[in-house]
Amino acid sequence: MPQPTLVVVTPWYPSDDAPYHGVFVQEAVAALRRPVEDVLVVHLNNVAPADAGAPRRFTTGIAEVLRIDVPVPARTSRADTARAQRRALLEHRPRELDEVPVVHAHVGMPTGWAVAGVLPASTRLVTTEHATYLPTILRTPVGERMYGELLARTDRLLTVGEKEARDLRTQFPAHAAKVFAAGNPVDQDRFALRPAPPARLDRWVYVGNLIPRKGVDRLVRAFALWSAGRATDDATLTLVGTGPQEAELRGLAAEVGVGDQVRWPGAVAPDDLPGVFADADVLLHLSSHETFGLTVVEAAMTGLPVVVTRCGGPTETLSDAEQRGLVRFVDVAPEPADVVRAVRELERSAPGADAAGVREVLVARHGARAFAERLERALDGRPPSEPPAPGARTVVGVALSPYASARLVGLLQEVVRSGGRAVLVTSQRGDAVATDRRIEVVDLAPHLTLLPHHALPDLVLRVLPAALLRAARSVCSLVASVPGPPRRIATRGVHALSAVLAKHAQMSRDVHAGLLHPVQARIDRDHVTRHAMRRRAGELTALRADLVVAPDDASRGLGSRIAHTRATARLARTPSDAAVRSAVVPAGGAHARGEEPG
């Protein structure tokens, strides 16, 4: 009988009791299109101690599954959950863990850490990070330590979004070269393109869990405002999903006067989602945070207009769809009027949107076959993508401000996806570590950090407060490690100080971007350009840029100087994804015609 060559270990997988729990893991396995006998899925199923049963094996249409119940009492920390999963693996260790060449773990904590400690040294480990709770884990000493242990053992860590990849590279610079964004798979065959975008957007739909983080209460209030402003009363809101907030949301819908217009179909199977999208005019997703945002990508792939918050993943996945008029973004925690305004704007732009073009890009970026290629490369130990071919077009991004740095993240990823050579010239501290290793970095930050108007504010605002907070946390950690009455209070102190450290880090970034950088930029603008062109001129000239992107005035001076090092180079401010692709693959594109793509 053939033996599996891949073991997938996951804390989530569909079951009879929870048929949609971990569907994205199932989809990732299915995307590989391997024979059933080639894959063993080990489902470490966290259950209450009283509900734990014996391990059981069964076969599905895509893999063999071994379900191991892991007794986990309520309110168990993820660190202790990880330890419980490791004990369960050791107790019920399937022989395949010692025989396969590679194991794929879903989510770093608890499951990646759990399996990392039981594998033979010769077995490759690939970990995919999905968790929205990752920042909470990494801000505590024990979570950071255990995640570092996982990274030390894993051969490659795949995130579903570039933001999470950058955060992990920054926090664990020694392992930064292992971390790449791979996305999630979307079945392009299941989500076909609708005949035409709708002309009116009266049939609203939401797909997801009914929990506070998803912002469904804001959606209900926004729908009430939309419905009150329409000439007809046939507007509807369909909330597809279940969750602990359902009763509260039903009461809210009645309170704001739309109880009869809100539909509650419950959760639906993945195969039924295309029908849900076909019966809707617009999908809305007002979440506070998403690492990827699967349903918004699925909806846009069908040509359904989408309104979504700038909550992380969607700003990466739907950048092209926004530029083509099929998607509108709103801020996190929007007011109802902001949502209604976005829907009205979308109602004007969607009929003329290039839905087929949106779908083509989404399939290339996130289709199941494209995802499978990225995952197979990781499982095989190959580089995450082929290096640029000799003579590939070079796109240089120039970032002399936090805004420019943030703007260039997605753009340079598009260059890599298109097969071009991507280079980042940056003065922003941390970019050299945080940037995808497929992107070359010319780092100007070390020069600036030595200047008094950079070093002194950084010392006062960031370094000293963080050092004091970490010292206090270390004292609490030491006390918490000793049995006795103070232990509980010290443990709370560790968590409280970890939360303060996270808030301080965000505050220092905000103050730098909003207050310090504008002052520093006025001082540095010409100075940085002169330094770069005097001390790094040979390096910058050797880049042989075809397109130079300088997203703001602070970066444009240096960008212009770099562009002038080559007669055929073009300078752009904010090119679209399509213009970037044309610059890299110029047949019939803007660059080939000698136009400025921006």
**Tens digits of per-residue pLDDT, 230-271?**
867 789 999 999 999 999 999 999 999 999 999 999 999 889
Residues 41 and 167 in one domain: yes
Q: Is residue 330 part of a domain?
A: yes
The CATH number of the domain where 122 resides is what? 3.40.50.2000
| Bridge partner list, 180 | 158
**Residue carrying the six token digits 């019966």:** 279
Q: Answer whether 508's CB lies under 8 Å from 516's CB.
A: no
Give the mean model confidence (pLDDT) for residues 197-224: 95
> Which of 344, 364, 384 is the last residue in one of the domains?
364
Determine the pLDDT at residue 454.
81
Looking at residue 286, the DSSP 8-state letter turns out to be -
Residues 436 and 470 in one domain: no
Residue 338, domain extent? 203-364
Q: Please report, in angstroms and rounded to a whole number, the separation of the first and last CA atoms in the chain.
A: 58
Q: In 3-state terms, the chain is what percent helix, strand and coil (to 5)?
A: 50, 15, 35
d(CA 501, CA 63): 44
Q: What single letter denotes the amino acid at residue 244?
A: P
117-128 pLDDT, tens digit each: 999 999 999 999
Indicate the SS3 state at residue 511: helix
Asked if the model's pLDDT at residue 5 lies above 50, the reply is yes
> Which of 147, 181, 215 is the last residue in one of the domains?
181
Q: 336-340, 346-350, 533-537, 561-565: which range is least confident on average?
A: 533-537
Determine the pLDDT at residue 310.
96
State the pairing for strand pair 64-71/56-59. antiparallel
The dihedral over CA atoms of 367, 373, 377, 378, expressed in degrees to the nearest 10, equals 30
Give the mean model confidence (pLDDT) for residues 204-222: 97
Asked if the model's pLDDT at residue 36 lies above 90, the reply is yes
472-501 pLDDT, tens digit each: 988 888 888 888 888 888 888 888 888 898
**451 band by pLDDT with thresholds 50, 70 and 90:** confident
Asked if the model's pLDDT at residue 588 lies above 80, the reply is no
Mean pLDDT, all residues of the chain: 92
Residues 142 and 110 in one domain: yes
- Two tokens at 172? 């664990």
Residues 78 and 125 in one domain: yes
Determine the pLDDT at residue 361.
93
Q: Is residue 317 part of a domain?
A: yes
What's the number of domains the chain is made of? 4
d(CA 321, CA 305): 9
Residues 463 and 425 in one domain: no
Q: Is residue 389 part of a domain?
A: no
Asked if the model's pLDDT at residue 61 lies above 80, the reply is yes
Q: Is residue 387 part of a domain?
A: no
Q: Is residue 143 part of a domain?
A: yes
Asked if the model's pLDDT at residue 593 lies above 50, the reply is no
Percent share of the chain, pLDDT over 90: 75
Determine the pLDDT at residue 1.
57
Residues 331 and 423 in one domain: no
Q: Is 77 exposed, middle or buried (0-12, 13-18, 19+ CB in 10 A)?
A: middle
d(CA 301, CA 131): 24
| Bridge partner list, 125 | 103
Q: Answer whether 138's CB lies under 8 Å from 172's CB.
A: no
Q: List Cβ neighbours of 482 (8 Å cut-off, separation of 6 or more).
A: none
Q: Residue 219: name the closest of 284, 297, 129 by CA.
A: 284
325-355 pLDDT, tens digit each: 999 999 999 999 999 999 999 999 999 999 9
Asked if the model's pLDDT at residue 2 lies above 80, the reply is no
Q: Is residue 379 part of a domain?
A: no
Alpha-carbon dihedral sign for residues 382, 386, 390, 393 = negative
Determine the pLDDT at residue 586.
66
DSSP string, 454-471: HHHHHIIIIIHHHHHHHH
Q: Residue 168: name the closest of 140, 138, 142 by CA.
A: 138
| Bridge partner list, 7 | 40, 103
Determine the pLDDT at residue 455.
82
479: left (phi over 0), alpha (psi -120 to 50) or beta: alpha
d(CA 438, CA 28): 24
Residues 425 and 491 in one domain: no
Determine the pLDDT at residue 596.
41
Residues 289 and 265 in one domain: yes
Residues 226 and 151 in one domain: no
287-326 pLDDT, tens digit each: 999 989 999 999 999 999 999 999 989 999 999 999 999 9
Give the mean model confidence (pLDDT) for residues 448-476: 86
Residues 57 and 124 in one domain: yes
Q: Is residue 530 part of a domain?
A: no
Determine the pLDDT at residue 19.
84
**405 band by pLDDT with thresholds 50, 70 and 90:** very high
Q: Is residue 370 part of a domain?
A: no
Residues 242 and 311 in one domain: yes
Q: In what order do the strands lie in the sheet with 156-159?
A: 56-59, 64-71, 39-47, 6-10, 102-106, 124-129, 156-159, 179-181
Residues 117 and 241 in one domain: no
